[in-house]
A and B are shown apart, each in its own frame.
Chain A
Amino acid sequence: MSRINQALRELQSIDELAGGGSPVHRFSPLSKLLVTVGYILTVMSFPKYALSELFLMILYPVCISVLSGIELRRAVKQVRYVLPLVMAVGLFNPLLDRAVVMYLGNIPVSGGFLSLVSLMMKGVFCLLASFFLISTTPADRLFASLRKIHMPAGIVTLLLLTWRYITVLGEEAAVMMTAYHLRAPEQKGLHWRAWGSFIGQLLLRTMDRGSELYESMQLRGYQGDFPAVRQDPFRLKDLLYVLGWVGCFIVLRKYNIAALIGRGAGI
């Protein structure tokens, strides 16, 4: 199976996961969106050397994994594509910041190394939180929930259509790659000489398919809105869910729980 096909299947499997019925799935999309945004902001706000405090933030993805029934291993596997990018961002930190800030036994640990690890942890945690958000909430309902926080209808529709377009783009790219490999079996990947025509053809094909899909929408009364996408009510339990998690994040951010536990245990 080509990499594009594989990515497409993974995307579709995330869509299917989102249709589950776990307790997490049953909370309103808006509440999960708010919690995820709160989590990401909290994670990003940790100082660059605060590894022990930051580490405890893994509690959120672990809890969501247990409650939703979606394995943490699967989540880690899904975010693997972005990990090199996360690493690349902090790659030069150990070279730029060489001051020793702590010792691990007798081994000196530089500030740059700590900040690299912290950056990687932040990246992974944020990606995991985002993964759990989209795998416990159908994309349509997630975008529709943005209307509740007064996001303009045009932008919400644009997001919905972009989400649909990703699948169309992926399907067309997969078909073209298959056709290419069948005629260039020795070729690994796409030869650079074919890049221009490949991208041009991909654009034309997706535009064609996009306009046919749009015609189909017009024929069924589309007037710039998606009334079929369910608007979930924001109930008391959703509010408690948000307040509960945000409270946890504040506690984890304000107090060094790991140090408190260590001190309590006499370490």
Chain B
Amino acid sequence: MIEFENVSFRYEKEKPVLDDVSFRISPGSKTGLIGANGAGKSTILKLLCGLEQGSGKITVGGLPVIPENLSAVRRQLGFVMQNSDQQMFMPTVYEDMLFAPLNYGVSREEADRRIDDVLARLNITELKYRHNHRLSGGEKRMAAIAVILANHPEVILMDEPTSALDPANRRMMIRTIRELPQTCLITSHDLDMILDTCETVILLHAGKVRAAGSAETILKDRQLLEECHLELPLSLAGKN
């Protein structure tokens, strides 16, 4: 579904952010992308969407991420940004949810049907006509996911989905992610959430893939995590 082959990226004349990164994510899986600040997590998400361009080969659903394919690639992707305020720009949740389907040529009737379906599935029907600036942090995050799901993406990218959420909203977010049938690539410093939602993990350190494999194996490896400036998830910290 997603493939990175020898991908490198650097911002002008700076140290490489990503250095010869390769990995593969299979369809329908949930993968956590973890690493300390500056490890290159958000850059990977941006490269996947074609917001940045590096060297090497990136494919999404068999399509290379190149300027000619951007529209087709982006149609398959849904990117839940870290800051929902930067993701939602229309006055109401409904109008924000309409934006992508209509841009991609879906009829208004079909888009309306999708919107009702997604809102009901996420149990946030009451937010439909709410103004975005009136939503609480948790509601905004759920609405941001709804906005993405309305476009029926095959892959969902999430940048720090649980940051700045209170415990109840965080739990709700974890439940929502677990129920998503799509392929998910989630970046986060919340390793407990990654452990709860992802089967596989890619650990980045200094722009390179340091480890990739089962979430439980990698997240239990205290030495490996500490070498990459991370710590054991709180739920495992007492057990090791």
Beyond the given pairs A138-B91, A227-B99, 4 more chain A to chain B contacts, judged by CB atoms under 8 angstroms and listed by A's residue number, are: A212-B81, A216-B87, A217-B89, A219-B51
Partner of B49, one of A212, A213, A219: A219
CA–CA, A229 and B98, complex, Å? 9
DSSP class of A's interface residues: helix, strand, loop or mixed? helix
Where the two chains meet, the residues of B that have a C-beta atom closer than 8 Å to any C-beta of A are 49, 51, 71, 74-75, 77, 79, 81, 83, 85-92, 95-96, 98-100, 102-104, 129, 131, 133, 147, 151
Q: Which residues of B contact A227 (CB under 8 A)?
A: 99, 102-103
CA–CA, A212 and B49, complex, Å? 13
Quick one: which of A1-39 are within 8 Å of B by CB?
12, 15-16, 19
Q: Which residues of A contact B77 (CB under 8 A)?
A: 219
Does chain B have a CB within 8 A of A222? yes
The contact sample of 21 A-B pairs, CB cut-off 8 A, is A12-B131, A19-B91, A19-B131, A140-B91, A167-B133, A171-B85, A213-B86, A216-B79, A216-B81, A218-B51, A218-B74, A219-B51, A221-B103, A221-B104, A221-B151, A223-B103, A227-B102, A228-B90, A228-B95, A228-B98, A228-B103
CA–CA, A69 and B108, complex, Å? 31
CA–CA, A228 and B100, complex, Å? 8
Quick one: which of A31-62 are within 8 Å of B by CB?
none
Q: Which residues of B contact A148 (CB under 8 A)?
A: none
Quick one: which of A192-223 are within 8 Å of B by CB?
209, 212-213, 215-223
Where the two chains meet, the residues of A that have a C-beta atom closer than 8 Å to any C-beta of B are 12, 15-16, 19, 138, 140, 164, 167, 171, 209, 212-213, 215-223, 225-229
Q: Which residues of A contact B74 (CB under 8 A)?
A: 218-221
Taking a contact as CB atoms under 8 Å apart, the answer to whether B79 and A219 are in contact is yes
Taking a contact as CB atoms under 8 Å apart, the answer to whether A213 and B103 are in contact is no
Taking a contact as CB atoms under 8 Å apart, the answer to whether A15 and B87 are in contact is no
Q: Which residues of A contact B83 (CB under 8 A)?
A: 212
Closest chain-A Cβ to B92's Cβ sits at a distance in Å of 8
Q: Which residues of A contact B104 (CB under 8 A)?
A: 221
CA–CA, A216 and B104, complex, Å? 15
Partner of B51, one of A19, A138, A209, A215: A215
Q: Which residues of A contact B99 (CB under 8 A)?
A: 217, 220-222, 226-228
Q: Which residues of A contact B49 (CB under 8 A)?
A: 219
Closest chain-B Cβ to A95's Cβ sits at a distance in Å of 46
Taking a contact as CB atoms under 8 Å apart, the answer to whether B91 and A15 are in contact is yes
Tell me the nearest residue of chain B to A140, going by C-beta.
B91
Taking a contact as CB atoms under 8 Å apart, the answer to whether B89 and A213 are in contact is yes
CA–CA, A250 and B214, complex, Å? 78
Tell me the nearest residue of chain B to A221, going by C-beta.
B103
Q: Which residues of A contact B86 (CB under 8 A)?
A: 209, 212-213, 216
Closest chain-B Cβ to A84's Cβ sits at a distance in Å of 29
Closest chain-B Cβ to A202's Cβ sits at a distance in Å of 17
Tell me the nearest residue of chain A to B70, going by C-beta.
A218
Tell me the nearest residue of chain A to B147, going by C-beta.
A220
CA–CA, A227 and B75, complex, Å? 16
Q: Which residues of B contact A171 (CB under 8 A)?
A: 85
Tell me the nearest residue of chain A to B91, going by C-beta.
A15
Partner of B100, one of A12, A15, A213, A220: A220
Q: Which residues of A contact B133 (CB under 8 A)?
A: 12, 167
CA–CA, A125 and B129, complex, Å? 32
